[in-house]
């Protein structure tokens, strides 16, 4: 079977071309889209993610400011900072890098972000709009998955779609988007999770699988039918002595093992990961436009 590799970079380049025009238009009005990124503590992965977001913003002539806070910061101080950024017209978007240290109430903190600046789409108001089928800011990773389906024109209409993973930031919003009455929605979506009995009973019937679990190579060729489309959101490190770093990054799907059976698949790396930052940029540009209206 001729398998199509769904390259996030190609999708991202197309979106960035369009964003570059919008960013130039904003510049003519004296506006540079600007993101405030808050990191609490010294989690190296969080730092890496935020730095890569800042780099993308810079490359696209947008601004960002990183606020690095001590891991033992008082909740009220963090809430105060968010309030300050909410009221600062320089910032069009705010993100709080997750996960947060245990002593901080994640829900309370995300709820503090002005929904108009909630470019991660995690505020309950924006989640509500998404559930209603009238999304404002769509969470970046699910949005990226949707854009991949759109770019490669993968028909979701009436298809059996199995989403594996039900997190608030990935699995649930993807399931919601793919079941809505939209061009790249209208799927018959089954949401699987750790309590799902006999996962392969579901995956074997799927026309499209979205894997967002965090278990390397959870899905193999015995669990899928011929011709399935796979979006692999998982980012997992596995030991690999042949690499300088001593590890390599793989998805939730055993890419090499399933390759000859699938119609299309996102690689890891090179698939969904690239899209997440691009959609953050897209949401921030949208927020900047909304805020001048
Ligand atoms: P979470 O840990 O929040 O959620 C994982 C989900 O997988 C849970 O719903 C869990 O079920 C389910 N699960 C766990 N084990 C199984 C199993 N054996 N069978 C079926 N379902 C299972 O992870 P995230 O949603 O935050 O992330 C998922 C993956 O996506 C990770 O690898 C992460 O690194 C990656 N990721 C990638 C991004 C990107 O930019 N490409 C962005 C964000 C995440 P239960 O709810 O019952 O516990």
User: What was the pLDDT predicted at 142?
Assistant: 98
Tell which atom from ligand 1 comes closest to the C-alpha of 275: 40
Average confidence (pLDDT) over 95-109 = 96
User: Ligand 1 pocket by C-beta < 6 Å: which residues?
Assistant: 141, 164-167, 169-171, 192-196, 199, 212-215, 233-236, 272-273, 276
* Rounded Cα gap, residues 203 and 94, in angstroms: 37
* Rounded Cα gap, residues 233 and 219, in angstroms: 12
Query: What pLDDT, in 10s, does the model give residues 155-204?
Result: 999 999 999 999 999 999 999 999 999 999 999 999 999 999 999 999 99
User: What was the pLDDT predicted at 141?
Assistant: 98
Average confidence (pLDDT) over 122-135 = 97
- pLDDT exceeds cutoff 80 at 232: yes
**Measured in angstroms, how far is the CA atom of residue 234 from the centroid of ligand 1?**
7
Q: Which residues sit opposite 69 in a β-bridge?
A: 40
- Mean of the per-residue pLDDT values of the chain: 97
Task: Evaluate whether 209 touches 162 at the Cβ level (below 8 Å).
Answer: yes
Angle at 30 between CA 26 and CA 35, to 5 degrees: 65
Average confidence (pLDDT) over 53-62 = 97
Q: List the catalytic residues.
A: 53, 97, 120
- pLDDT exceeds cutoff 80 at 1: no
- pLDDT exceeds cutoff 90 at 285: yes
Residues whose CB falls within 8 Å of the CB of residue 274, separated by 6 or more in sequence, listed in order = 8, 9, 11, 12, 144
């Amino acid at each position: 079977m001729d398998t199509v590799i769904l390259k996030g970079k190609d999708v991202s380049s197309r979106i960035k071309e369009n964003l570059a025009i919008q960013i130039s238009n904003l510049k003519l009005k004296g506006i540079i889209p600007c993101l405030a990124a808050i990191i609490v503590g010294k989690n190296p992965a969080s730092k890496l993610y935020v730095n890569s977001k800042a780099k993308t913003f810079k490359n696209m002539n947008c601004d960002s400011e990183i606020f690095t806070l001590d891991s033992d910061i008082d909740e009220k101080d963090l809430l105060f900072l968010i309030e300050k950024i909410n009221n600062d017209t320089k910032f069009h978007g705010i993100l709080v890098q997750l996960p947060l240290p245990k002593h901080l109430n994640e829900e309370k903190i995300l709820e503090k972000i002005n929904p108009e600046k909630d470019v991660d789409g995690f505020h309950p108001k924006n989640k509500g709009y998404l559930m209603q089928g009238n999304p404002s800011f769509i969470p970046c990773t699910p949005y990226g998955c949707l854009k991949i389906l759109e770019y490669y024109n993968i028909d979701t209409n009436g298809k059996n779609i199995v989403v594996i993973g039900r997190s608030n930031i990935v699995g649930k919003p993807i399931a919601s988007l793919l079941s809505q009455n939209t061009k790249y929605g209208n799927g018959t979506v089954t949401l699987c999770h750790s309590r799902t009995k006999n996962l392969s009973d579901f995956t074997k019937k799927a026309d499209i699988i979205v894997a967002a679990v965090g278990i390397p190579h959870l899905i193999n060729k015995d669990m899928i039918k011929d011709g399935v489309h796979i979006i692999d959101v998982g980012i997992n490190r596995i030991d690999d002595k042949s690499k300088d770093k001593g590890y390599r990054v793989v998805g939730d799907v055993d890419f090499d093992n399933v390759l000859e059976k699938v119609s299309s698949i996102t690689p890891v790396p090179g698939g969904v990961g690239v899209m997440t930052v691009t959609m953050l940029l897209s949401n921030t540009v949208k927020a900047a436009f909304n805020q001048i209206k």
